Structure 1
């Protein structure tokens, strides 16, 4: 169901505790006490037929007796009571419930299924069962049974473990750290990790997300939600069970989704400090500033162990440092000397600030008589404005609470050792690199399918029609060469099947290169239709030294050369292999799997030589159906170019590289037109917001843009139509806007027609939009296209709706 009604969980207006009790050690007593202790500002209603009054508040005997629907219902009663309670809550209008108790004992599974069925007609969301609860400190909503009160912070905690959640909340509480939200998922009968990630991706209070999980319930939804969240903010994930056979697959999934995996709970806890407190810019380099040589060496070693070297300064940066601190030798680490003063730390920050190549500033300090911790901290706060790419601090021996809190209040994270500092920074760099991979959108099939791919599809379908479910030898090769692969078929000697089979490599003098076909490595490639993640590649290469374990990694189609390079880069043979042919082979295999949906399994060896990459002895298994791709390719089939007022106009799905053009498009809109589109005064959008607009999951939403070329070769965005479909594909909500200077030229109608065609093709039942009552042009277009116009809950806004018959014809709802 994704984010539907999750705002009730995370932005509650009222709460009811079903089974509230005065009896200590009862779940109902603990939950009720935590609600009261949190000081929730909204109404809080206890429900229990055994009591008339509880803590000075009237107790309701039954859920049906509540005078209004609570935003959240905390259900603390036995599982047998759940179906009736949920049905009554749904009828009342409640939108979310947390089942705090476990689904144990005879009949619990049946009761849970009945509760879910009772919730479905009302779209009531259920968290749990067995959930510790949801905490939103900014709203004083301590809903559930956490072991301690939770302070407000900038990081969200999401976990499948109640025990680990309690441990992390206690650890943070003892160190004065807090959370934007803390969510214990329980058994994920309805609301799962994907749903919560989806919500937190756009939550303004959350700067980063820390996720702990052991398994993913709905992989397709999880991947989509994780990618959306990671585009906006760091998502770090801890998964236990490194010896689990599926662990490598999860690691690849996390990497492809842009999440940063951490290996230990300590690392995850450190990020509460780094991400919840610090404001760190996207820099992949750092400069260490310290007073002591030994401390500097220790810190540099920590950076090296974390896999990152220190920044190389420019001559200009060194000169600036000499001017600011004539007695200090420029270098990284920057050693200020044992008699350094707090003022010298500040002058170093100021001198290096204009030089971007120096990266993030790391102050690592052991207290001295000339530079006490509190005074150095004060100087860092005063000069923080010069650390444009972020500032992190490490004070050996720790800091007192007031100094620590002052540093945090100014966005300066404090770590206890250089090792923890370096590892925290390394994870930030990993996140930045992961975001670059998220920008990759490998294309799907175009509207006009190439003849070679049509031939491959026809071959696969013909084989299945003839009852042939496995292709090997020349039959498999004939299928795969349509995608530009060089294939060697085993048998009595190896036979080449490829347009390039007779090519001969030449050396620099134009002579035949006798070593060109020297085999560097044979990589075993397997494609399997995973029950959770759908089609997944597994690549296995032998150990490069005969001692280490074989290299193995996974890859998710679709791939393009950039994504394929990221896979190859992890191999111990990366520097010896023929890179471009290898990337081409992996990309072509991915294209074959994406374009021929009948391929459910594939086995082959990729023989990489100095100049070529051959697919050896492929075997392909076919079936009528397989799992869905975990990541949807760019829908190239929706691209269309037409003649519009004498110039070519392309209407196509938006892509990540459209961010700059989209920013220019918004900047070209008048303030009034932006208000009509966004229902509020808008001056512009930052990178995070633009990324959310341009980097979309094409399976769950669509943004069709109208673009045209400029004389410079750049593309210009002229209009956009957005469609977000509900999880059941029953209803899609749309919004549309055209450049202010192009109104009245028919572009809005053109986008509307394409939007209707797209929605019909998906089989969506109705299309709905919300329009300001004063937006006469949009209302006129909607009426002309057959939309019904009716009031909404907001008197300034009207709702337009068009029902789509199953035969594709539009009709306005009665």
Structure 2
């Protein structure tokens, strides 16, 4: 499951505490006390047959005695009681439960399995066991054993550790910081980190998500959820266990998902301040405003150490500051010089000078985010400087962050927080916190990058590779090596240096340049040792490539290379398929050898082709190869492929080539296929071809066009949860263009998929919309989804008529201008 019924957990209407008690130090007593202290406004029911009343409230002897089903149940009883309690709750209609008790012995694990089985028929969601609880301050829902009150804030906390959760909640409370939600996952028997991310990604009260975890369960769900969440809001993760062998794999997975990894609890805590309080649109640069030269130097050093950059002011900004603050020239070593960044207001600076600086810099947006770092002086007390920051914070276009040496009193801190101004105690903490914001922006940009067009692949060659692998498995082979492996990879455009040639060091001469796929074409040249020696001299590195089937993330690539100078550590990093040229470039950019390569295009093409082989041939369970990189070329050396009838699923669903279909439609050849990231330009042209009225009917409002990030979201889809099928053809110049697109986005529970369809305006009423709708209905049904639904403007009679013809039921919605469409896709849905 995923987000199903999590709304009951995070937006509760009533709660029952089963096992509530007054016995000191018991779990039931702690949880009961915290619920009451939180002040939950809905009904609160204690359940314990030993009491007639608890804390002035009527106690109930059994779950069946409750006046109505609680939306959330807090289970504080021993494990042996869980299956029966959960069965009763599910039958009543309770939708979520938190189990506080722990599972330690084998017999208790069997009881947990029975508990999950009891919950499943009722779709009752369980947090835990071994959870310290879930807190939602907006509802005063303190459903936890944690001793610390929690204020309302903009950051969600999700953790696998009870101890760290308690520590973080205490730290935040002492500093006046809050959370939208605080979730201790416990053993994740049901609700896990992926489920929490799925819910929080669309939670309007959550501006950022902080994860603390050691392992990822259900890697595909986690990656899909993390990628979706990171497109909407910052997601930062702290993983313990950096010394274990899989840590580099986690770093790669986080980066691929757009999650920013932090390496210390201090850094994660600082982000509660920066993200939970601030409304900072992180630019890549900042302007530092302070009064003291020593403070400025210290802060600039901190920024440099964190990898931040101070903005280079345009001359117009410098002149504007000089005119607005004329006293600055008298305090500078060179009176005729213009002020710059850091902006030194002088030892005698007054609070109004800070305000004036913000005002003058406001029109110059390329000065970046504003940072005020201030050590209290007689002429500029902290409280007064804080006051002018509060009064002028809206002038900081990219946001405003503050650092006050020695701290501020609670009232001043809370006043700054109320206006969205984060407050840090040292320049180092401020600089690192800002660096994480920049990391998030860069990670999000990488998620939105449009890959270069891929070279055309001949389907027959891919079919040949698939047949070769299947035949090998059927014959009882476990590996392809030598000539067999060479033929396999050549189907994907790769050039292979045979093993015997590598062993004798008689390298083939490189003639003929680059093939259509961007991979070097090599030809035998026996008797030409001079040419072979020249190529060998030009070798940059032998990159060892291994594909292994990880127990959690499925097939993953591991790239290793020797130390570049014999002193630094050998290169080693991981990457999750599928790879495209943009992602391959990101991998290559991490290598210290990249600077020595004249052209990295052959390397990018080689890595992308290897990824295609893994994605297109599911019998590939592993591979070992060396990619020999020269200054201008790349070639595989002695590859070996492990084949098997079955392997783990890829954590990220690759492009589903099986859905490609060639048709003959209205006198021309047409292809229907899933949309690809490199279709962005073509998709932009398609939208521009639609009339303004057609765009209004499709997007429910006036649309002038879409920018890169919006188009990227339309073309870079998660094939695990979304499908967009486009119909394309070729014009008289041989250029591919889009005729129409149909899209379906499935909820994380695979319960319902929401569709949308658009057709090139010139092609309306020719049956293309019906064809595409039929295709998407077939696809959604094949996934086992129960319903396909949609909404259209009531005036869109052609779409409503098509939906009725396809069997959709039409219904009213809360908006009289919009009608709902709904089609059952299976017997269970019809029932």
TM-score, normalising length: structure 1: 0.89
1:524-581 deviation digits (Å, cap 9, x = unpaired) = 1111011111111111111222222211100111111211121122222221234222
Q: Provide the alpha-carbon RMSD of the alignment.
A: 3.8
Paired position in structure 1 for 2:251:
251
Q: Is 1:722 paired with 2:744?
A: yes
Paired position in structure 2 for 1:195:
195
1:136-187 deviation digits (Å, cap 9, x = unpaired) = 0011111121121100000000000111100000000000000000000000
Cα separation, partners in 2 of 1:710 and 1:184, compared to 1, 3 Å = farther
Matches within 5 A, 1:49-68: 49-68=49-68
Q: Is 1:548 paired with 2:568?
A: yes
| Residue aligned with 1:575, SS | helix
2:829 & 2:177 partners in 1: Cα distance? 53
Match of 2:543 among 519, 523, 535: 523
2:66 & 2:548 partners in 1: Cα distance? 53
Q: Is 1:325 paired with 2:325?
A: yes
Paired position in structure 2 for 1:144:
144
Matches within 5 A, 1:335-374: 335-374=344-383
Cα separation, partners in 2 of 1:315 and 1:264, compared to 1, 3 Å = same
2:424 & 2:411 partners in 1: Cα distance? 15
1:322 & 1:709 partners in 2: Cα distance? 60
Answer yes or no: is the 8 Å Cα contact 1:443–1:634 preserved in 2.
Answer: no
| Residue aligned with 2:393, SS | helix
1:451 & 1:195 partners in 2: Cα distance? 40
Paired position in structure 1 for 2:591:
571
Residue 783 of structure 1: CA displacement?
Answer: 3.3
1:528 & 1:462 partners in 2: Cα distance? 22
Residue 512 of structure 1: CA displacement?
Answer: 12
Cα separation, partners in 2 of 1:56 and 1:693, compared to 1, 3 Å = farther
Residue 458 of structure 1: CA displacement?
Answer: 2.4
Q: Is 1:735 paired with 2:744?
A: no
1:421 & 1:606 partners in 2: Cα distance? 43
Paired position in structure 1 for 2:825:
803
Paired position in structure 2 for 1:595:
616
1:654 & 1:410 partners in 2: Cα distance? 43
Paired position in structure 2 for 1:81:
81
Paired position in structure 1 for 2:168:
168
2:778 & 2:412 partners in 1: Cα distance? 61
1:758-780 deviation digits (Å, cap 9, x = unpaired) = 12443x26434266896884554
| Residue aligned with 2:491, SS | helix
Residue 70 of structure 1: CA displacement?
Answer: 1.2
Residue 357 of structure 1: CA displacement?
Answer: 2.6
Paired position in structure 2 for 1:382:
391
| Residue aligned with 1:632, SS | coil
Q: Is 1:468 paired with 2:486?
A: no
Unaligned 5+ residue runs, structure 1?
Answer: 505-510, 806-810
| Residue aligned with 1:180, SS | strand
Cα separation, partners in 2 of 1:446 and 1:55, compared to 1, 3 Å = farther
| Residue aligned with 1:98, SS | strand
1:800 & 1:338 partners in 2: Cα distance? 69
| Residue aligned with 1:483, SS | coil
Answer yes or no: is the 8 Å Cα contact 1:273–1:414 preserved in 2.
Answer: yes
Cα separation, partners in 2 of 1:264 and 1:797, compared to 1, 3 Å = same
Cα separation, partners in 2 of 1:717 and 1:744, compared to 1, 3 Å = closer
Residue 482 of structure 1: CA displacement?
Answer: 2.4
Answer yes or no: is the 8 Å Cα contact 2:753–2:785 preserved in 1.
Answer: no
1:121 & 1:558 partners in 2: Cα distance? 36
1:720 & 1:542 partners in 2: Cα distance? 48
Matches within 5 A, 1:37-116: 37-105=37-105, 107-116=107-116
Residue 782 of structure 1: CA displacement?
Answer: 3.4
| Residue aligned with 2:203, SS | coil
Unaligned 5+ residue runs, structure 2?
Answer: 330-337, 511-518, 526-530
Answer yes or no: is the 8 Å Cα contact 2:448–2:709 preserved in 1.
Answer: no
Answer yes or no: is the 8 Å Cα contact 1:132–1:162 preserved in 2.
Answer: yes
Answer yes or no: is the 8 Å Cα contact 1:443–1:635 preserved in 2.
Answer: no
Paired position in structure 1 for 2:279:
279
1:692 & 1:255 partners in 2: Cα distance? 18
Paired position in structure 1 for 2:264:
264
| Residue aligned with 1:532, SS | coil
Paired position in structure 1 for 2:334:
none
Deviating more after overlay: 632-641 vs 403-412 = 632-641
Residue 480 of structure 1: CA displacement?
Answer: 1.3
Matches within 5 A, 1:148-227: 148-227=148-227
- The number of equivalent residue pairs is 797
Paired position in structure 1 for 2:513:
none
TM-score, normalising length: structure 2: 0.87
1:377-429 deviation digits (Å, cap 9, x = unpaired) = 22222222221112111111111212211111111111111111111111111
Match of 1:631 among 644, 647, 652: 652
Paired position in structure 2 for 1:621:
642
